[in-house]
Amino acid sequence: MDVVTRFAPSPTGYIHIGNVRSAIYPYLLARQAHGKLILRIEDTDRVRYVDGATELIEDTLEWLGLNWDEGPVVGGPNAPYFQSERKEIYHEYARRLIESGRAYADPAPPEQIEQYRKECNEKKIPFLYRNFRPKDTPEWQPGIPLRFKAEPKPYQWHDEVMGDMSTGPEVLDDIILIKKDGYPTYNFAHIVDDAEMGITHVMRGVEYLSSTPNYLALYEALNLPRPKLVSLPHILAPQGNKKLGKRDGAKSVTEYRDDGVLPEAMLNYLACLGWNDGTEQEIYTKDELIEAFSIERIQNSGARYDETKLLWMNGQWLRRIFDEQGAEALYARTQGFWPETAANYDDAYKLKVLSIIYDRLKTLSDLRSMTGYFFAEPTIDLEMLLQNKFLKKLSESELESLLKTSIQKLSALEKWDADSLQAALNELLSETSKKPAELFSLIRIAISFAPFSPALNLTMEVLGKDITLSRLNTVAAAI
Ligand code: GLU
């Protein structure tokens, strides 16, 4: 059996972490099995439809490197891939069900249905529409919803993640297949499409598990083979037992991208949110994920979303790219993340800054907050200097004289490179008998006025002799 999986998002304008994870597993499975991944846009809910949302989905997948074999943009033998353009196909399947007596046009107005629901609520019995099935049903025509005629019975099935499942007849109902606007419901459309497109593994959020018996009934009524069902665990909010939602601070995937999270890190993090290969490994390339992935190791309980972990992983990836692919490869990813003042500096200088700071970044946008003093004079903040935990024990005149001694020593340096600077700093330490924390904090703050910086000799090397000395002079004078 050739593996065919699908990612079937609804274009509602916001792609969160959970949506994307539902794309990653089908992608990994398809690639591992040398099968196919189909992208299908489930846009039959015209009320929730948002313009531009499809492009957002495509951009997000492309950014993550999750290419699809059939679908929008690339086309394919099962076109069209927008459900809104497949109405005729659904209507054809609907007619088959009408002919076999398994679907009926439902003339009941919504108020009437509401009334039935209320009655059941009052009597505290479950509301099942099949108990109110209309006696006379008109011929099906536009403007009238089409319902499935359920045949209540127990079901048993195997979910590849949740295990063996069984339900009683009480969960089967006359679900709507085609709405009165002529568009199919999700419940009906996905059954038809998965069959038409030859999907072998239906991988989707576990929220669809409770509707599965109705889907099984539809496969039977339409005489369609059951695909393998793979329910993906919920992604839980950082606290409590709720599903992750917008309110928990989970940003959309593109927001993370705009904050300077790398696609490698996002893919790595999300793939491991609810799946592991049983080893201690945490950092995976896409190819490693394709190789290691297995449905059996998808966990069946909720996976907790942890942004700190994502950012940690991003830091690991930033380092990995620098160390393995080179400074320039990482530099190429930094466009748009530098402070505005960096625009006046050339690539070579920014590359040097990146090379000494990359291992402290969590996201690329940290460049904006952490490198300002490389591109503009820092604002002198004497309080910050005087209140520093290592410097507050020293008097102002002591600080001034320490700065002056340092200026003298550094001015005399002929070679301004990291090694010569380190040697000079070491000599200064023994000549002044100060502790490294004292002397180095003083110089570091005086040249950067930043809460932290890369190693002092590297920072001074990149800033250059003139700027370093002029900043030290200014601060000595200010004290
Ligand atoms: N359109 C559905 C959603 O976005 C897809 C569920 C499925 O994958 O079948 O939730």
Ligand 1 binding pocket includes 102 (Cβ within 6 Å): no
Question: In this model, does residue 1 exceed pLDDT 70?
Answer: no
Ligand 1 binding pocket includes 454 (Cβ within 6 Å): no
Ligand 1 binding pocket includes 10 (Cβ within 6 Å): yes
Q: Which of 7, 25, 190 to mutate to test the pocket of ligand 1 (most atoms within 8 A of CB)?
A: 190
> What single string gives the DSSP state of each residue in 87-105?
HHHHHHHHHHHHHTT-EEE
Known active-site residue 246: yes
Q: CB of 295 within 8 A of CB of 29?
A: yes
Cis preceding linkage at 80, omega within 30 = yes
Q: Ligand 1: which atom is nearest the Cα of residue 207?
A: 10
Q: CB of 268 within 8 A of CB of 284?
A: yes
3-state secondary structure of 320: helix
Q: Of 456, 450, 452, 473, whose CA–CA distance to 400 is shortest?
A: 473
Q: Take residue 347 and report the two structure tokens written for it.
A: 């690539």
Q: How far apart are the CA of 208 and the centre of ligand 1, in A? A: 9
Q: Of 297, 229, 324, whose CA–CA distance to 32 is shortest?
A: 297
Angle 463-465-466 from CA coordinates, rounded to 5°: 95
Per this entry, what is the length of the chain? 479
pLDDT at residue 296, as a whole number: 98
Ligand 1 binding pocket includes 9 (Cβ within 6 Å): yes
Higher pLDDT, 241 or 397: 397
Q: Which of 180, 242, 246, 415 is catalytic?
A: 246
Ligand 1 binding pocket includes 193 (Cβ within 6 Å): no
Q: Ligand 1: which atom is nearest the Cα of residue 9?
A: 4
Question: Which of 2-16, 359-373, 429-443, 455-469 shows the lowest per-residue confidence on average (mean pLDDT)?
Answer: 2-16
Q: How does residue 248 score in pLDDT terms, banded at 50, 70 and 90?
A: confident
Ligand 1 binding pocket includes 8 (Cβ within 6 Å): yes
Question: In this model, does residue 112 exceed pLDDT 80?
Answer: yes
Going by CA atoms, what residue is nearest to atom 4 of ligand 1?
A: 9
Q: Which of 14, 22, 45 to mutate to test the pocket of ligand 1 (most atoms within 8 A of CB)?
A: 22
Q: What are phi and psi of 202, to 5 degrees?
A: -90, 105
Q: Ligand 1: which atom is nearest the Cα of residue 203?
A: 8
Ligand 1 binding pocket includes 40 (Cβ within 6 Å): no
Residue keyed to tokens 């940290």: 366
Q: How far apart are the CA of 204 and the centre of ligand 1, in A? A: 7
Q: Of 281, 276, 337, whose CA–CA distance to 313 is shortest?
A: 281
pLDDT at residue 95, as a whole number: 98
Query: Greatest CA span in the chain, whole angstroms?
Result: 103
The proportion of the chain whose per-residue pLDDT surpasses 70, expressed as a percent, equals 100
Per-residue pLDDT tens digits for 216-244: 999 999 999 999 999 999 999 988 889 88
